[in-house]
């Protein structure tokens, strides 16, 4: 069990650029989640996958955000045309089936200048 | 009405005291409740899970769940300075959002020597 791995750890980009983050879940976990967290707030749900199927996506999520999980393994989260309001910590987590606790990666901190 | 609310902080307790953290939720169909601890700049880590009404104890931590009153609490006995962190409650919603783990905004706990 090597834990959930996220890359990169930090990303600084200019407004209007596209960014992509990667998450490698714990190998035996079939669920994968993306959250966004800003200072002083709890993690905000973005989307989750069960195997390769994206089962739910936050209604608050702009269509500039897209996530994929090809073959039910790693996942990518892409943000197009970044805005300063996208600056946050992006957390990935995975879990086994059922109502199990999530195991989080170290996060990717995005700064949009 | 917010899906989940945690007692406002920050909460400050002296070393050795009991820290009490509370969380209320609005969805009566909610199942599987968790408490996470998050140190500044780090990702959340699981400290307690509770699935049924009553108390669950693990070392210095006790989680209490009351589904009728829709609240879950966390007691930390013999608080230590190393317990200083943000504590997040989380739960799985019922209904169509089955599989989505929702977090509260967090309560900052400071344990002073």
**Tens of pLDDT along chain A (113 residues)?**
589 999 999 999 999 999 999 999 999 999 999 999 999 999 999 999 999 999 989 987 889 999 999 988 999 999 999 999 999 999 999 999 888 999 999 999 999 99
Of A40, A42, A56, the CB nearest to B99: A56
Instruction: Estimate to the nearest angstrom the gap between the alpha carbon of A32 and the chain centroid.
Output: 9
Q: Does B72 touch chain A (CB under 8 A)?
A: no
pLDDT tens digit sequence for B53-96:
999 999 999 999 999 999 999 999 999 999 999 999 999 877 66
Residues in chain B: 113
Sign of CA dihedral B63, B64, B67, B70: negative
- What gap in Å lies between CA A78 and CA B66, rounded to an integer? 40
Q: Does B61 touch chain A (CB under 8 A)?
A: no
Cβ of A106 and B104 within 8 Å?
no
Of B31, B51, B101, the CB nearest to A102: B101
The share of chain B scoring above pLDDT 90, in percent, equals 76
pLDDT score recorded for residue B50: 95
Chain A: residue nearest B47 by CA? A101
Cβ of B97 and A56 within 8 Å?
yes
């Amino acid at each position: 069990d090597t834990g959930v791995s996220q890359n990169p750890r930090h990303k600084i980009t200019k407004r209007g650029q596209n960014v992509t983050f990667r998450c490698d879940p714990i190998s035996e976990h079939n669920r994968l989640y993306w959250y966004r967290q800003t200072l002083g707030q709890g993690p905000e749900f973005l989307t989750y996958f069960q195997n390769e199927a994206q089962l739910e996506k936050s209604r608050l999520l702009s269509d500039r955000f897209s996530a994929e999980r090809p073959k039910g393994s790693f996942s990518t989260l892409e943000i197009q045309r970044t805005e300063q309001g996208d600056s946050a910590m992006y957390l990935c987590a995975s879990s086994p089936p059922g109502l199990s606790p999530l195991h989080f990666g170290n996060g990717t901190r995005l700064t949009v200048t | 009405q917010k899906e989940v609310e945690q007692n406002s902080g920050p909460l400050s307790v002296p070393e050795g005291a009991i820290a009490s953290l509370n969380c209320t939720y609005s969805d009566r169909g909610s199942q599987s409740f968790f408490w996470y601890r998050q140190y500044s700049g780090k990702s959340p880590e699981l400290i307690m899970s509770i699935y049924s009404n009553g108390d669950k104890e693990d070392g210095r931590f006790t989680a209490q769940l009351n589904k009728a009153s829709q609240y879950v609490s966390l007691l930390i006995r013999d608080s230590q300075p190393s317990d200083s962190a943000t504590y997040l409650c989380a739960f799985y919603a019922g209904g169509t959002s089955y599989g989505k783990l929702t977090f509260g905004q967090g309560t900052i706990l400071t344990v002073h020597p």
